[in-house]
């Protein structure tokens, strides 16, 4: 590609997003080249076409998409950039697929500082690089000041599912075991603490992380895993209810076996919220046949992202599709869907 005619380079340090950055004209091209392309640089983006092309093998493919509107955009343990990469990689991976490529679409508010946008783009690039997934195409729109909230990022990912893997939310069967990969509620509490300016004795960091490598090891160990899902918005409680309804089964879980960090439990108590309803961004729920549970748990615990993995309960017959929990005090209670919205804009 020829270099464009000389124009003053973007002033990343002091510049801000202006309406012409969304015009599709020279200013858009400059923003793409000097900020996004510089951060994401790869052979596909460099083609500068309105779409990216690549070769695929035949087989079972998955697509997942996620809009990211988290507030604040920088939070303990992460930012909207890495979150937008991990969130979509994880949605792809929860089918058992190996994520291959991502697209990224930005909606920017006029006046947004370029220095923050660059920081976000670098965070996306670094997360994608570490995960071995390329951001191959994108889009940039700009809306007037007051018509958005800084930056919204929608990422879409594709991946290929290994032969024989058939993971779906409708495959939970009575007798199956329910596993989680680690502590619940870290992400939601990290975001909330920043938003509410809360300080805790120990800093609570978001658990945002890409789970596809963990999933690859789990699938290699137990190709017949029935369900995988990352308990993001709505938390563990909502994810279990979703799967129960999709599969037409009930679930019995045990509160004592659900890993929750002490500081997260304390923060939840302080804030009057239940960690089972708090979002996670680097954890998964797995449901598998009883015969696979032990080996799966062992593979999970060997992985750095699932050291605290635990079996938290089992699938039961229940025409009402209730998720019931034996509480720490030995009683039973129904764990309902999240209703209302205690934690808006958590991802």
Residues from 172 through 191 that contact a second copy (CB under 8 A): none
Q: Does 101 bind a second copy (CB under 8 A)?
A: yes
- For a second copy, the binding residues in 61-90 under the rule CB under 8 A are 61-69, 71
**d(C-alpha 323, C-alpha 52), whole Å:** 44
Q: Token pair of 150, please?
A: 């800084």
Contacts of 62 (CB under 8 A, 6+ apart): 92, 95, 97, 158, 159, 160, 161
Nearer to a second copy, 65 or 266 (CB): 65
Q: Judged by CB under 8 A, how many residues of this single chain contact a second copy?
A: 93
Containing 295, the helix (H) or strand (E) segment is helix 290-301
Q: Binding a second copy by CB under 8 A: which of 37, 148, 221, 271?
A: 148
- For a second copy, the binding residues in 108-137 under the rule CB under 8 A are 136-137
Residues paired with 313 in a beta bridge: 178, 253
Q: Does 92 bind a second copy (CB under 8 A)?
A: yes
For 145, the 3-state DSSP assignment is: coil
Kindly state the greatest CA–CA separation across the chain.
Answer: 73
Q: Does 344 bind a second copy (CB under 8 A)?
A: yes
- How many other C-beta atoms can be found within 10 angstroms of the C-beta atom of residue 345? 15
Segment near a second copy (CB under 8 A), from 92-100, 120-128, 216-224, 295-303?
92-100
- For a second copy, the binding residues in 232-251 under the rule CB under 8 A are 232-234, 238, 242, 245-246, 248
Q: Does 229 bind a second copy (CB under 8 A)?
A: yes
CB 335 within 8 A of CB 275: no
Q: Binding a second copy by CB under 8 A: which of 138, 210, 275, 282?
A: 138
Q: How far is the CB of 160 from a second copy (least distance, A)?
A: 9
Nearer to a second copy, 14 or 55 (CB): 55
- For a second copy, the binding residues in 278-337 under the rule CB under 8 A are 279, 320-321, 337
Give the closest residue to 182 by CA, choosing from 309, 86, 300: 309
Q: Does 225 bind a second copy (CB under 8 A)?
A: no
CB 241 within 8 A of CB 336: yes
Q: How far is the CB of 82 from a second copy (least distance, A)?
A: 18
Q: Does 94 bind a second copy (CB under 8 A)?
A: yes
Gap between the terminal Cα atoms of the chain: 37
Nearer to a second copy, 138 or 182 (CB): 138
CB 236 within 8 A of CB 337: no
CB 120 within 8 A of CB 86: no
Q: Binding a second copy by CB under 8 A: which of 43, 49, 256, 290?
A: 49
């Amino acid at each position: 590609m020829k270099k464009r005619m000389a124009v003053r380079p973007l002033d990343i340090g002091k510049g801000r997003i202006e309406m012409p950055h969304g015009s599709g004209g020279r200013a858009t091209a400059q923003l793409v080249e000097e900020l996004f392309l510089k951060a994401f640089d790869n052979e596909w983006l460099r083609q500068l076409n309105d779409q990216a092309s690549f070769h695929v093998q035949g087989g079972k493919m998955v697509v997942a998409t996620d809009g990211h509107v988290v507030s604040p955009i920088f939070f303990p343990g992460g930012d909207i950039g890495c979150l937008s990469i991990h969130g979509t990689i994880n949605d792809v991976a929860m089918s058992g697929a190996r994520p291959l490529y991502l697209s990224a679409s930005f909606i920017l508010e006029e006046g947004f500082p370029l220095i923050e946008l660059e920081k976000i783009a670098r965070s996306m690039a670094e997360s994608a690089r570490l995960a071995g997934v390329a951001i191959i195409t994108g889009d940039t729109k700009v809306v007037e000041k007051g018509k958005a909230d800084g930056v919204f990022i929608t990422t879409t990912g594709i991946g290929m599912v290994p032969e024989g893997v058939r993971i779906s939310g409708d495959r939970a069967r009575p007798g199956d075991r329910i596993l989680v990969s680690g502590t619940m509620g870290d992400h939601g509490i990290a975001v909330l603490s920043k938003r509410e300016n809360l300080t805790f004795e120990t800093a609570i960091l978001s658990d945002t992380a890409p789970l596809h490598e963990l999933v690859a090891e789990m699938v290699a160990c137990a190709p017949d895993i029935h369900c995988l899902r990352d308990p993001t918005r709505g938390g563990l409680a909502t994810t279990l209810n979703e799967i129960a309804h999709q599969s037409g089964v009930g679930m019995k879980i045990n509160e004592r076996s659900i890993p929750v960090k002490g500081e997260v439990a304390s923060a939840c108590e302080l804030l009057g919220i239940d960690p089972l309803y708090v979002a996670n961004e680097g954890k998964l729920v797995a449901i598998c046949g009883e015969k696979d549970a032990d080996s799966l748990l062992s593979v999970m615990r060997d992985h750095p992202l699932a050291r605290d993995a635990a079996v938290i309960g089992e699938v039961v017959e229940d025409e009402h599709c209730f998720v019931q929990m034996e509480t720490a005090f030995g009683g039973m209670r129904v764990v309902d869907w999240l209703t209302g919205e205690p934690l808006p804009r958590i991802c």
